[in-house]
Structures are given as C-alpha cells and as structure tokens.
Amino acid sequence: MKELLDGLVEKNKALIKYGQVANYIPLLGNADPKDLGVCIIDNLGSIYSSGIYNKKFTIQSISKVIALMLAIMDKGEEEVFKKVGMEPTDEPFNSLYKLDIPYGDKPANPMINAGAIVTTSLINGNGEEKLNRLLEFLRKITGNDTINYNEEVYLSEKTTGNKNRAIAYLLKNKGLIEEKVEDILDIYFKQCSIEMDCQDIAKIGIFLANKGRVLNTGEKLLDNKTNSTIIAIMTTSGMYDFSGEYAVRVGIPSKSGVSGGILASVPNRLGIGVYGPALDQYGNSIAGYGILKDLSEELNLSIFT
Ligand code: GLU
C-alpha cells in the first residue's frame, strides 16, 4: 500500500501546474501549491501515508460534514431538512441568487455555504458553545486533543467574507437562522478555520466507514441512519458542482474544501485524507482528485461497482 501511495503522489504531482491556490481568503493564498499528501486508514487501524501528509491545513468546507452530523444529532433529520434541502446543485458553493428568487425557499443542500450556515445555526448551544461542541466532537473522532481553529485564517475570512455575509442576511430574511448574522458567521468562519492534517481527516473517513464508530475506542457516536444520510449527502453534493462527474469517475463518498483537503470514506473499508492546495475550476484539489481517481481504480473502491 505504501508503495502504491508513493507512486500515486509522484504521478499526480504532474497535475499541480494546472491548478491554483485559493486566494479569495487572503491567508489561504500563502499555501504552497506544490504540496501533495495522502493518508489512508483501514478498518483494522493500519495507517499508510505518503507525501506532505502531516502538514496542518484549515479544513474549510470539510467542516460542513461535522456541522451536519451535530445538527442532525441535536434536532433530528426532519427539523434539519425543513430548513435545508438534500438536492445536489450545479451552482458554485458560494452562490446566493437562488435564495432570492420567490421559490428559493431554502438552500439546496448542507454542503454549499448557504446550507452550511443553516446547519451550523441548528447545532445546540449559544455562540462559542456550538464551536466548542464541534471541536470536542472532532477531538473524539480523531483521538487528537490538540485540534483547534487557526485564529489568523479565521480573521482573514471574517475580514473579507462579504459574500457569506450577503448569504447569511438572505437566510436571516427568510427566517432560516435565528442568531444575529455576525454571530452565526463568527462560528461558521471559525469552524472553517479548524486545522487538521491528512491523518486526522482519514480518521473522520474511517469513522464514517465504520458507521459512526470511533476506530480506537469503539465508541459509537452516530446512529446508522444519520451515518448513511451523511454518506449520501457527501456522495451527491460533497465535491461542489463536480459531484456528478466525481461519482462516475471516483465513486467514493467525499467532501472537499477550498484549502485543498479532501475527506473520503469507503464504507466498511477505508478512511482517506488528501491534501493538495492547488485547486481546479470547481474548488477541488486538482492532484488530490487525481490520487483518489487512481486509488479508486487500483483498489476497486467505487461504491457503485
Ligand atoms: N470558508 C470557506 C467559505 O465560506 C469555505 C468554502 C469551501 O471550502 O468550500 O468560502
């Protein structure tokens, strides 16, 4: 496995030159586009890594998966999906115009920014309590007590995140969030700024692959139904407006973030974390996608075969 990963990292480095690091959040622009790493954990706990796998990066949209878990645990599926849809969309992740058309009653799904701001708002607790619960949950899943958010990236996004501000005001106007706009955005920006490395991400992947059971402790944190809902939403909406093609070409439930991370979970088998900050036009790690596509072919990982 280690040799396979080394080979795939080397091969897919060739794609990096076709991608670009996100810089609409200024601090993300400091990432090194040449970085590429991967970590895989199987359900026996064996860990295989290659490339730049132990560098920390902010998880950005990968946090939307965790927010959805907590929102469903706290409020139940019915309540959550009253306020956010479960349909894939061909809109970019930060689109807002459908929120302002008469029949645009709720965000398409919890993996786009509008939907994620709603799910964050549905997590029990006031302000910082929501964030602390997110952090605690992630620490339990990964067994890594050092997980925290990066203050500088948070401030960088808070200063420049006016599109998310516009989205949140539309959500507020539609009665989909209860908190003050700035208060909920504060939590959303902080959750996007949580830092992890590929191994932490792979731990989330194997947690989902094992139906919500923590690999090291055996603790069951998600019921089976919630776990399959998360896996389904990742499959249909996790890779931005590329999710359909990704399902065809890779077929692994995944969620990516604009910092270049990808969380992937092969049910009953593997958790995978990938990092490569050079992005394609959809906002997915261009070489990370290459690695997952090759891995899926090599190890026959598509859930559709
Ligand atoms: N914090 C980012 C934003 O809201 C997350 C986007 C992403 O990773 O897709 O723009």
Q: Could you read off the pLDDT of 40-80 as tens digits, one per residue? A: 999 999 999 999 999 999 999 999 999 999 999 999 999 99
DSSP state of 289: H
pLDDT score for 266: 98
Per-residue pLDDT of 88-118, as tens digits, reads 988 888 888 788 887 778 999 999 999 999 9
The full set of domains in the chain, from first to last, is: 2-59+196-299 (3.40.710.10), 61-192 (3.40.710.10)
Each residue of 18-34: b (16+ CB within 10 Å) or e? Answer: ebebbeebebbeebebe
Whether 61 sits among the annotated catalytic residues: the reply is: yes
Q: For the chain, what is the mean pLDDT?
A: 96
- Sign of the CA dihedral 130, 172, 80, 206? negative
Active site residue 46: no
Q: What does the alpha-carbon distance between residue 154 and residue 229 come to, in Å, rounded to a whole number?
A: 29
Q: Where on the phi/psi map is residue 281: left (φ > 0), alpha (ψ -120 to 50), or beta?
A: alpha
282 C-alpha to center of ligand 1: Å? 12
Among 24, 94, 242, the mutation site with the greatest number of ligand 1 atoms within 8 A of its Cβ is: 94
CA separation for the pair 299, 11 (Å, rounded): 17
Rounded to two decimals, the pTM is 0.97
Are 209 and 268 in contact by the 8 Å Cβ rule? The answer is yes
3-state secondary structure of 78: helix
